[in-house]
Amino acid sequence: MTYASAHPDTDVGPRWWRLAAYGLLGLPLAMAALPVYVHVAAYYSALHGVALAQLGWVLFGARLLDTLQDPLQGHVIDRLRGGVARWMMAGGAILALAFAGIWQPPASGTVAAIWLGVMLVLAYCAHSMLNIAYLTWGAGLTGSGAQRSKDRLSAAAWREGAGLAGLVVASVIPATVMAGEPARIPASMALYSVAFAVLLMVALALLLKLAPAWPRPNPQADDWRCALRRMASNRGFVRLLLPYLLNACSVSLPATLALFFIRDQLQAAELAGAFLGCYFIAAACGLPLWTALARRIGVLACWRIGMALAIASFAGASLLGAGDVLPYFAICIGAGAALGADLAMPPVLLAELLGAGEAAGAYYGVFTLLGKLALALSGLALPVLAALGYRPGIAGSTALVLVYAAVPCLLKLLAMASLRAPSPAPLPIARYRSSP
């Protein structure tokens, strides 16, 4: 299979269907990511007898190892010439197999924990192979300055819109499966894994054949030390790292604990799929609005507004108790709408901070490293909660409420306070026609 290299760009940018072909891969990537980050802990705790503290350390270790590879992968991707198709297809095959393996451990207890650690490392590695190349592809769209900015924002809208559709699927189906008869869960997750693998290969084929051309290799990417020096000297990028990490922690922490909160604090385990689906549907509906707003006021200002909305929406979660279903649905809608800004704005903001000739893959490798570091740190919430006396299945835990609801709001406030990078120029006002 050859990569997309014969699609000429016009003066008005790539046609919408080429951007749609680019964005579709976001759907299967999200279908795999959400169950791994949200459902794995509850799955191995309830069905395979892995202790909560042991499970937390496995998640932390696997995610921490995963963070170390991302800058290296970004550097390798910057040097890819004709090998992007082989790189991405190999990543897709490994991800499909590892994702299926996660849900089929050969035993319970410690053996299951070890199996989970190995499968997670493989899945994370493969997901990085795809995701960093995918983000680099979108950042490399060509054209004039103003048109390039609009194309990047439109490509991000397609990518994150497809990703949100994948998150809706991944929130409803696995949650429904997990709420069913325990004996049938592994077989049902095997079917889900097959469907994911098929969608992944179809999306990869469309990306490689129909999307705008893969960016030309960057000659400056041949020396990784040069790339590090350029990143360190990019003040806007350096200033963006701390708020990005804090914001990622504010999102990953409640994602890790959501099912425990829904089951034990709200005592509404049967509605877990509905809650998650509502959250991601709200994000999908809000994404075109955030994109249009970013065209008018700038990407950075738009992201700040999204953060403020997330805090205002999620602050009330710490006050909820058993049976507070409707208020939690309202929180899911508000926080989900804010998620669209968290997903779409940072990659576009980073692309706007890159100068001509920059090695984009290395930059996005650092971005994904920070995102995975946030996920690794969120895994430590499980042993912390265990040390504070929380036990899965026991209602009324103050520690669970504070860690799930209050701490993320504090982290989001710190992210807003540290977001001081210069705002890029507002994008030209244009009718938004390329969102899904």
Cα-Cα-Cα-Cα dihedral sign, residues 221, 423, 432, 131: positive
What does the chain come to in residues? 436
| pLDDT at residue 12, as a whole number | 46
List, in order of start, the domains of the chain with CATH numbers.
Answer: 16-418 (1.20.1250.20)
Binning pLDDT at 50, 70 and 90, where does residue 98 land? very high
* Cβ proximity of 134 and 159 under 8 Å: yes
pLDDT tens, 42-85?
A: 888 888 888 888 888 888 888 778 777 777 777 777 776 566 78
Q: How far lies 19's CA from each of 11, 127, 159, in Å?
A: 15, 21, 9
Q: Is 87 exposed, middle or buried (0-12, 13-18, 19+ CB in 10 A)?
A: middle
Look at 93-97, 135-139, 175-179, 294-298 and tell me which has the smallest mean pLDDT.
135-139
pLDDT at 82: 60
State if pTM tops 0.85. Answer: no
Question: Which has the closest alpha carbon to 214: 363, 14, 389, 34?
Answer: 14
For range 238-259, the mean pLDDT: 90
What is residue 149's predicted lDDT score, i.e. its pLDDT?
60
- pLDDT tens digit sequence for 320-334: 989 899 999 999 999
Which band of pLDDT confidence, cut at 50, 70 and 90, is reported for residue 306?
very high
Predicted confidence band of residue 427 (pLDDT cuts 50, 70, 90)? very low
Instruction: Tell me the residue ranges of DSSP E strands in 135-265.
Output: none
Which one is predicted more confidently, 256 or 92? 92
Which pLDDT score, from 0 to 100, does residue 7 have?
A: 44
For 350-372, write each residue's pLDDT tens digit: 877 776 666 666 777 788 788 87
Q: What is the pLDDT of residue 344?
A: 81
Other CB atoms closer than 10 Å to residue 5's CB: what's the count? 12
> Would you call 431 exposed, middle or buried from its count of C-beta atoms within 10 A (0-12, 13-18, 19+)?
exposed
Which residue has better confidence, 432 or 206? 206
